[in-house]
Chains A and B, each alone.
Chain A
Amino acid sequence: MSARWKIVALVAVVVLAVSGGTFYVLRARAEHRPPEAGPAQVPTSDRLGAVQAVPHLVFRSTALGEGYGRVALVPLTDPAGARAFAPAACDRIYARPGETLCLMAERGLVTTYRVDLLGADWQPRQSAPLAGLPSRARISRDGSLIATTTFVYGDSYANPGQFSTRTVLTKAGGGEIGELENFTLTVNGKQITAADRNFWGVTFTDDNDAFYATASSGGKTWLVRGSISGRSMVSVREDVECPSLSPDGTRIAFKKHGTLAAGKWRLAVYDLRTGAETLLAEERSFDDQAEWIDNTTVAYGLARTGDTGAATSDVWAVPADGTGRPRVLIPDAWSPAVVGAAS
């Protein structure tokens, strides 16, 4: 090929690449409809204060239209009914009476992450930067302890995509208790110090010292029981992720990987008294930290493959004893928390 033809060929490649890329992006942009555009696609209510006064569910609304991504509330007696929007937008939510834990991404050219503890008036009482993508959030029953799990990724220059989770325990009044990575981890009697240790999905017990969480190392995961005062965690059982303790403190709902394909989990319940494990009636794969509605029912978010392209999901509920069938509890919702229910 002569020098001239080489230049012509290069120009052709550049023109094709630039026009093709531009065309693709412009088309994607034209087809993209922001999920919060237009009126809300679900019944809404403006009686926020009234819903706050009764036992209710707090969640992230994923209904298209106005209010997408906002915190919403429904009374526990009518979860599929009209939702009241709170003046806050969160990616991951947990709530106790009078306080809501709100993990969010602040999107921009560089996305940063933050956690706010909102008071009953939805104003932040405390706020802290988060190290990465929000994943799990929990508040202890009396509201004094907070746990957040985020995905942290190391520098993407030398070690692309290297991943870990960071789980931090904090006191609601302020003051960090610490990262679980700095607690000791004992699995089957042996202390684990491997560099690939990761922790996620804390659930608190009512004594405000013991907690349960997931620990992982070397491709295995364990349910661990931790002690804040002892800064330690001890394995209880293998293959338990994202534990959630029942209100009566006797069972743990969790994600079981078992022999499923990578990235797939079944919802199961482990009885701490008998050691029995029960697969629940939900047979689809899910990825969430379940929330107990009461001592007999668990709720969890399930992504819905929508045709709109926006991340859509519903909150489902299923009996905790393996019977029955899953049903939609709140349509177009994610990250549910039960507030003020008698247990």
Chain B
Amino acid sequence: MYVSVRDRPAGDQPDAPTGRRKKVAGTVVLLGIVSLLTDVSSEMVNAVLPLYLTATLGLAVLAYGFIDGIYQGVSALVRIAGGYLGDRNERPKWVAAAGYGISAVSRIAMLPAAGWVAVTGVVTADRLGKGLRTAPRDALIADASDPEVRGRAFGVHRTLDTVGAALGPLVAFALLWAVPGGYDSVWVVSFAFAIVGVAVIVLLVPDRRPAPSGGKPAPRDLLRTMVLLRRPLIACGLLGILTVGDGFMYLSLQHRDDFAARWFPLLYVGSNVAYLVLAVPLGRLADRIGRAKVFLGGHVVLVAVYLTAALPSVGTAWTLVTLLLVGAFYAATDGVLAAFVSRLVPDGARGSGIAAAQTVVAVARFGSSVGFGALWLAMGPSSALLLVAGLLTVVLPVAWWLLRNTEAAA
């Protein structure tokens, strides 16, 4: 079941790991910086988009939430295509760079885009770019990292990524503070961040070295990868369908106490801070005790998130604990999943494998959003969360069994 992973010779890289404590490769840090700059750029826009849309477009934006679901589906398909293309032509760097480029160009298109259709188009382009780049980029990270420290490598990348996501809204609001109503300034500065990110990946990040065998994956191999990964994919799907989007979590907190309602825009900054603090330690823990264990542990934390969000609040501290746990969940699952999957597939199919797992998670979570929305309305936030917590508790041992066997095979 398990295809052996070539260990890269230590001398293979410019900043070769030395001694027992292996360093995270320079490529990983560079890709982290690319993600940081890109996330500053995209979160700047995302943070002010609601304000901008209501200021210029009024209630027409109600349709937005609905259309958002369609984007998610398109983005998932593009993601598989991105991972597969990167593997097939052995140019993951250029597929990823194209994805970053599309998103960057979509920023500057916001300047003349003064209408509903235009804004929708721009947001779609950004989504497509994100879908395209994620899997090949994660394949590059896995390529550049020694298998033993892959969890940590992804942790480092996700930390930098999240720093960008946390800084973006602050930069945007600071700009609007300095230039009230200056949305065009936000788009221009966002574009500036994005273009530097594109420059870093194009100019500094090395592409994958051609595999010695030179075997290019055919479409059939994509299917083979999926079959190879069926147990982890089923586990990811089961867990994903019971992963309630953090958006719902924040809304639940907002319903519950005044603190959360008042500081609503800051809630996700709070969980992002927890995420970035915990991404590296949990990635390192995953390298030591096993990625599947940490991935599952993250979902145990998720049960705790549901409980803290569902039970009556005992004050502001309770809200902060919930945010901390949300961050811990993402830190234990997001990068760890990529590190886990990249160990289970052959080098040449890494992008496809990571893309497959991420797509399963994304599609399952989208399904979960739709289903949970209905539950929320039918039962109210608390009961709905408690129900999902119960289901997740039942599914966790099943997922453990699916993943344990996989790891045993490895």
Which of A's residues lie within 8 Å of B, judged by CB? 1, 6-7, 9-10, 13-14, 17-18, 20-21, 24-25, 28-29, 32, 34, 107-112, 129-133, 135, 151-165, 181, 193-198, 200, 216, 218-219, 241, 262-263, 287, 309-311
Contact = CB atoms under 8 A, between A and B. Distances in A.
Contacts of B62: 163-165, 198, 216
Interface stretch (B137-145, B179-187, B393-401): B179-187
B66 A196 contact: yes
A154 B248 contact: yes
Given A13-B196, A13-B199, A164-B62, A107 B184 contact: no
B263 to A, nearest CB: 7
A107 B173 CA distance: 9
> Which 3 A-B pairs give the minimum distances between C-beta atoms?
A195-B373, A263-B60, A154-B247
Nearest to B375: A195
Contacts of B376: 195
Contacts of A162: 64-65, 68, 247
Contacts of B188: 20-21, 24-25
B174 A109 contact: yes
Contacts of A129: 258, 261-262
A243 B182 CA distance: 33
Given A10-B200, A32-B182, A200-B59, A159 B245 contact: yes
Interface in B138-187: 165, 169-170, 173-175, 177-182, 184-185
Interface stretch (B2-10, B44-52, B233-241): B44-52
A299 B298 CA distance: 56
B264 A159 contact: no
Interface of B: 42-43, 46-47, 49-51, 53-55, 57-66, 68, 115-117, 123, 165, 169-170, 173-175, 177-182, 184-185, 188-189, 192-193, 195-196, 199-200, 203-204, 245-248, 250-251, 254, 258, 261-268, 272, 369-370, 373-374, 376-378
Mostly, the B contact residues are helix
B398 to A, nearest CB: 25
Given A9-B203, A161-B123, A198-B62, 10 more contacts: A6-B203, A20-B188, A28-B184, A112-B262, A112-B263, A155-B267, A159-B68, A161-B50, A200-B59, A287-B58
A157 B169 CA distance: 10
Given A17-B195, A309-B181, A163 B61 contact: yes
Given A110-B266, A193-B377, A262-B116, A158 B179 contact: no
A153 B50 CA distance: 7
A183 to B, nearest CB: 11
A133 B54 contact: yes
B288 to A, nearest CB: 29
9 contacts: A110-B266, A131-B261, A131-B264, A151-B61, A163-B65, A196-B65, A263-B59, A311-B55, A311-B181
A112 B200 CA distance: 36
B331 to A, nearest CB: 14
Given A6-B203, A28-B179, A111-B173, A157 B268 contact: yes
Nearest to B258: A129
A307 B176 CA distance: 20
Contacts of B373: 195-196
Contacts of A131: 254, 261, 264
B247 A14 contact: no
Contacts of B251: 152, 154
A161 B62 CA distance: 10
B374 A193 contact: yes
A193 B51 CA distance: 28
A328 B65 CA distance: 36
A161 B254 contact: no
B199 A107 contact: no
B49 A156 contact: yes
Contact of A14 (B63, B174, B199): B199
Nearest to B72: A159
Contacts of B377: 181, 193-195, 197
Contacts of A133: 50-51, 54
A194 B371 CA distance: 10
A195 B370 contact: yes
Find the residue from A1, A129, A200 having the highest chain B CB count within 10 A.
A129
A295 to B, nearest CB: 27
B265 A262 contact: no
Nearest to A10: B203
Contacts of B195: 13, 17
B247 to A, nearest CB: 4
A186 B278 CA distance: 47
A161 B49 contact: yes
Nearest to B50: A153
Given A17-B195, A25-B178, A108-B177, A263 B58 contact: yes
A29 B178 contact: yes
A218 B65 CA distance: 11
A313 to B, nearest CB: 12
B189 to A, nearest CB: 5
Contacts of B264: 131-132, 152
Given A193-B374, A200-B59, A157 B43 contact: yes
Specify which of B62, B188, B200 lies most central, judged by the most chain A CB atoms within 10 Å of its CB. B62
B189 A21 contact: yes
A10 B369 CA distance: 41
B64 A163 contact: yes
